[in-house]
């Protein structure tokens, strides 16, 4: 399988703290990949390095064959990004924001308008489309950001905690939407704390802990690496990241 | 009172942590800021002392009167700037703030909350303006031979009530505007309020009687005498700037009864303003805050695509058009932004009202060249101020939403160009008519007019570029108040560099002006060599500054990590 994302020996330090150390990771084209790790383990640094918002101190990152550090525009034109916190321009309406994003990706106006109407219909936002975003709830803002990431038909969608703040109906709809666009060939890289969602949607996954990948592969591969015969991803995750040991202190 | 003290104590701890942070980066940042600020203040002090006040005091009979008028004009501008700055800071700090929302969920009364935040607001909205005023005041104090006692007395009895009056007025206007916004939208209210304010100031300018200051008639100063006597607005006996300047004069001349009168006028005005503000805050702050929340939920739907269609005509790529449209809509929907632009334009109108009274039949040619140079410097100063206030924050104001641009396929150079062109277009539309109008009002002949108009055009380009470049290199994404962004370390550095640049431009313009005046007075050779040399130097200076700004800005944007 061709690689959509290839990270080779990446190390990133912030002062004396090493956020990511000698990281190796490959995500194939068309894969739905889950990226797991406790808070502060290096997930966001990995994601930012894929977009070119952080430069590795050592090693390199390739997205679609391009290095985001040296060729950020090529890389960014191929991806859609959903951050963990949906900060968007509050004074714009959702339609204006989506048109703004479409303009940045050089979409044709007719195509852009069609996609906006379709996406806002799918995300059940039609009644809100011409209202200013500053009056939206957190979940509504999350939907706007999600629509913006999908709008320009990216080859790779990078999601950082995409379901935070969504009501159960919206969360279901987002999961269905991601599954659908993945079936149409879009690669999805999803970082999440919601282990059940990762288990449900992702074909392969990796667990990062203290800046190093401690397990990678399908759920079965991970079980083998953790020497567990069965059980949920949550048990496996806790075992690999030392969570069970910490939980016993509570007792 | 205990609650207010607690809140202020923690605010103090917070600022102490920021200012005295011992990490390497903070020490470098704070040290650089302090150094730049010290250089800026010292340079401005030397400018006022050596070039203006020392020279003017040497003019027999009218020297000190002229200083009074200069100070009065300066302080009128500071007073208006303090009102606007306080208005905007109150809206940003007290109403559009997560901190206020959190504090309202704790058992603190609305008045206690307002009092603690008002202190915060007063400091924030006035410190930068006071820093701007300091060199002028110190230069004045030096030529007047102030001792330590005079400094302390003037600070406590004149300057402090002057600032408190303006800041309280601004806060009252903001409270009133937010309460009114329950019935009238802010979008309609702010221009209406600003329009009313502008109309009042203009009416005041036209209708008020000039003070009966008479300078003894002297043939050499006939025209100048006429000019000074016609400074209507800034010498009215019922304005705080008049009381401040007269108070300083009385203090230095030992006329303590007069000093007492002017100090009493300032102190009683400040107390009255604070008492009214206290009353308003007690009864209106919480309802006003609730109204500000309701305003968001009452926002109408927007189906206006006219702006999109109009901007489709702009000859630029779709990315630049998208950025331009977004910036335009955000500007139009943020009343605090254009309210400030209106007030700065209003200050320009006051300038032009005064310019109207400059005698055009000046027989002494040197006075004409001085008037031309002063007009050039004033325009440069206004442009530098506008640049740091409106252009410098443009990248910072992307705020937490900057990730949208940061993750989009837009090269740093393209983003820089969009910010530059949108800023320069507005600058051009303000500065060039201003230069031409000033030239026509002063009845300048061809050479003077060409120097003024072309010099200001070049300054508009370079100052816009500098502000965009420094804005990209020193952003404050966490800050949403443009005035705070402008007074950040990066903003101070920008204004220092910009004013230094304006100073260099003034020097390069002054030489050919001086030579040309000499040519008109004494005849001889047309000063083509000095004009050519200064033009080349001016070109080199501007190319260098523009290149530096573009490189600084694009490299910072391209290398920024988030």
Give the model confidence (pLDDT) of B16-41 as tens digits. Answer: 777 777 777 677 777 777 887 788 78
Helix (H, G, I), strand (E, B) or coil at A6: strand
| Cα–Cα distance for residue pair B27/B353, rounded to 1 Å | 47
Q: Inter-chain contact B408–A54, Cβ cutoff 8 Å? A: no
At residue B327, the pLDDT reads 85
Largest Cα separation within chain B, whole Å, is: 81
Chain-wide mean pLDDT for chain B?
78
Nearest CB partner across the interface for B330, out of A76, A89, A130: A89
| Cα–Cα distance for residue pair B71/B245, rounded to 1 Å | 7
At residue B470, the pLDDT reads 94
At residue A102, the pLDDT reads 92
Chain-wide mean pLDDT for chain A?
87
**Within an 8 Å CB–CB cutoff, is residue B400 touching chain A?**
yes
Model pLDDT for residues A4-14, shown as the tens digit of each residue:
999 999 999 98
Torsion-angle region of A231 (φ positive above 0: left; ψ -120 to 50: alpha; else: beta):
left
Contacts of B557 in chain A (CB under 8 A): none
Q: Which of A241-250, B58-67, B444-453 reaches the highest mean pLDDT?
A: B444-453
For chain A, the residue count is 251
DSSP annotation string for B200-243: HHHHHHHHSPPP---PPP-GGGHHHHHHHHT--GGG-TTSHHHH
Restricting to B residues 282-321, those with a Cβ less than 8 Å away from any Cβ of A are: 296-297, 299, 301-303, 308, 317-319, 321
The size of the A-B interface in CB pairs under 8 A is: 102
Contacts of A54 in chain B (CB under 8 A): 561-562
Average pLDDT over residues B326-341: 76
At residue B201, the pLDDT reads 65
- Residue B289 in this model has a pLDDT that exceeds 80: yes
Nearest CB partner across the interface for B318, out of A96, A103, A135: A103
What b-and-e string marks burial along B192-224, b requiring 16 or more CB atoms within 10 Å of the CB?
A: ebbeebbeebeeebeeeeebeeebeeeeebbbb
Which residue from A223, A218, A215, A234 is spatially nearest to A24, judged by alpha carbons?
Answer: A215
Model pLDDT for residues A161-176, shown as the tens digit of each residue:
888 877 888 888 888 8
Average pLDDT over residues B514-535: 84
Following CA atoms B410, B412, B415, B420 in sequence, which dihedral angle do they give, to the nearest 10 degrees? Answer: -160
**Within an 8 Å CB–CB cutoff, is residue B268 touching chain A?**
no
| Cα–Cα distance for residue pair B72/B262, rounded to 1 Å | 14
At residue B216, the pLDDT reads 40
Average pLDDT over residues A105-122: 91
Range with lowest mean pLDDT among B1-5, B173-177, B311-315, B375-379? B311-315
Closest chain A residue to the Cα of B329, Cα to Cα = A92
Contacts of B336 in chain A (CB under 8 A): none
Q: Inter-chain contact B400–A54, Cβ cutoff 8 Å? A: no
Best of B409, B413, B415 to disrupt the A interface by mutation (most A CBs within 10 Å)?
Answer: B409
At residue B218, the pLDDT reads 44
**Token pair for B257:** 């009864």
Long-range residue pairs from B428-434, CB within 8 A, at least 24 positions apart, any chain: B428/B457, B428/B460, B430/B345, B430/B348, B430/B386, B431/B379, B431/B383, B431/B456, B431/B457, B431/B459, B431/B460, B432/B456, B432/B457, B432/B460, B434/B348, B434/B379, B434/B382
Model pLDDT for residues B340-363, shown as the tens digit of each residue:
676 667 667 766 766 666 655 555
Range with lowest mean pLDDT among B3-17, B37-51, B188-202? B188-202
**CA of B301 to nearest chain A CA: how many angstroms apart?**
5
- Give the count of alpha carbons within 13 A of A195, CB side only: 13
Model pLDDT for residues A37-74, shown as the tens digit of each residue:
888 889 989 999 999 888 899 999 999 999 998 888 89
- DSSP H helices, chain A, are 43-51, 72-78, 94-104, 109-122, 138-151, 168-183, 195-201, 219-225, 233-240, 243-250
| Cα–Cα distance for residue pair B423/B341, rounded to 1 Å | 13
Percent of chain B past pLDDT 90, that is, above it, reads 14
At residue B364, the pLDDT reads 61
| Cα–Cα distance for residue pair B27/B454, rounded to 1 Å | 42
Closest chain B residue to the Cα of A86, Cα to Cα = B401
| Cα–Cα distance for residue pair B322/B439, rounded to 1 Å | 38
């Amino acid at each position: 399988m061709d690689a959509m994302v290839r990270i080779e020996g990446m190390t990133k330090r912030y002062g004396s703290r090493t956020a990511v150390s000698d990281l190796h990771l490959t995500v194939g084209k068309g894969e739905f990949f889950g990226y797991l790790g406790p808070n502060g383990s290096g997930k966001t640094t990995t994601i930012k390095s894929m977009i070119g918002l952080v430069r590795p101190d050592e090693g390199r990152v390739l997205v679609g064959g391009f290095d985001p550090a040296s060729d950020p525009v090529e890389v960014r034109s191929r991806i859609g990004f959903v951050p963990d916190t949906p900060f968007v321009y509050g004074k714009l309406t959702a339609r204006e924001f989506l048109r703004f994003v479409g303009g940045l990706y050089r979409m044709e106006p007719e195509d852009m308008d069609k996609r906006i109407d379709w996406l806002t219909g799918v995300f059940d936002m039609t009644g809100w489309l011409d209202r200013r975003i500053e009056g939206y709830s957190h979940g509504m803002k999350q939907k706007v950001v999600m629509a913006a990431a999908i709008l320009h038909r990216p080859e790779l969608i990078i999601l950082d905690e995409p379901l935070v703040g969504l009501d159960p109906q919206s969360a279901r709809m987002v999961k269905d939407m991601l599954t659908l666009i993945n079936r149409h060939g879009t690669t999805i890289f999803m970082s999440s704390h919601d282990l059940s969602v990762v288990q449900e949607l992702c074909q392969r996954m990796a667990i990062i802990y203290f800046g190093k990948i401690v397990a990678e592969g399908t759920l079965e591969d991970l079980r083998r690496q953790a020497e567990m015969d069965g059980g949920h991803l949550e048990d496996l995750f806790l075992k690999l990241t030392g969570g069970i040991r910490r939980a016993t202190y509570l007792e | 009172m205990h609650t207010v003290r607690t809140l202020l104590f923690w605010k103090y701890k917070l600022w102490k942590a920021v200012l005295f942070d011992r990490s390497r980066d903070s020490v470098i940042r704070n040290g650089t800021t302090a150094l730049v600020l010290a250089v800026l203040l010292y340079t401005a002090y030397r400018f006022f002392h050596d070039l203006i006040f020392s020279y003017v005091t040497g003019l027999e009979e009218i020297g000190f009167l002229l200083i009074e008028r200069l100070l009065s004009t300066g302080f009128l501008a500071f007073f208006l700037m303090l009102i606007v700055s306080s208005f905007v800071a109150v809206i940003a700090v007290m109403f559009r703030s997560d901190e206020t929302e959190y504090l309202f969920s704790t058992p603190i009364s609305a008045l206690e909350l307002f009092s603690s935040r008002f202190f915060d607001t007063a400091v924030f909205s006035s410190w930068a303006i006071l820093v701007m005023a300091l060199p002028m005041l110190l230069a004045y104090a030096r030529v007047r031979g102030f001792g330590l006692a005079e400094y302390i007395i003037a600070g406590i009895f004149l300057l402090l009530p002057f600032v408190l009056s303006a800041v309280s007025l601004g806060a009252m206007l903001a409270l009133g505007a937010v309460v009114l916004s329950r019935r009238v939208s802010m979008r309609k209210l702010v221009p209406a309020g600003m329009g009313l304010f502008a109309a009042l100031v203009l009416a005041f300018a036209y209708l008020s009687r000039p003070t009966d200051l008479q300078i003894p008639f002297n043939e050499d100063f006939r025209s100048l005498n006429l000019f000074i006597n016609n400074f209507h607005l800034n010498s009215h006996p019922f304005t705080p700037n008049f009381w401040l300047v007269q108070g300083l004069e009385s203090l230095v001349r030992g006329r303590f009864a007069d000093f007492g009168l002017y100090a009493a006028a300032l102190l009683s005005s400040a107390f009255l303003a604070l008492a009214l503000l206290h009353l308003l805050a007690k009864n209106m702050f919480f309802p006003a805050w609730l109204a500000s929340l309701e305003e968001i939920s009452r926002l109408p739907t927007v189906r206006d695509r006219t702006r999109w269609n109009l901007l489709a005509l702009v000859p630029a790529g779709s990315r630049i058009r998208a950025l331009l449209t977004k910036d335009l809509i955000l500007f139009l929907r943020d009343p605090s932004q254009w309210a400030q632009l209106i007030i700065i334009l209003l200050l320009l109108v006051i300038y032009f009202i005064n310019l109207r009274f400059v005698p055009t039949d000046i027989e002494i040619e040197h006075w004409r060249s001085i008037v031309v140079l002063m007009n050039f410097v004033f325009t440069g100063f206004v442009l530098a101020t506008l640049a740091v206030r409106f252009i410098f924050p443009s990248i910072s104001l992307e705020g937490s939403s900057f990730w949208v641009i940061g993750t989009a396929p837009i090269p740093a150079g393209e983003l820089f160009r969009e910010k530059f062109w949108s800023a320069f277009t507005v600058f051009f539309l303000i500065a060039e008519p201003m230069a031409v109008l000033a030239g026509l009002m002063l009845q300048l002949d061809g050479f003077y007019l060409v120097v003024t108009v072309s010099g200001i055009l070049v300054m508009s380009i370079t100052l816009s570029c500098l502000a965009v470049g420094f804005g990209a290199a020193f952003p404050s994404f966490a800050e949403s108040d443009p005035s705070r962004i402008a007074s950040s370390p990066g903003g101070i550095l920008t204004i220092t560099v910009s004013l230094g640049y304006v100073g260099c431009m003034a020097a390069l313009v002054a030489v050919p002006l001086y030579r040309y005046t000499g040519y008109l007075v004494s005849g001889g050779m047309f000063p083509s060599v000095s004009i050519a040399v200064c033009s080349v130097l001016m070109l080199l200076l501007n190319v260098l500054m523009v290149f530096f700004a573009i490189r600084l800005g694009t490299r910072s944007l391209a290398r920024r990590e988030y």
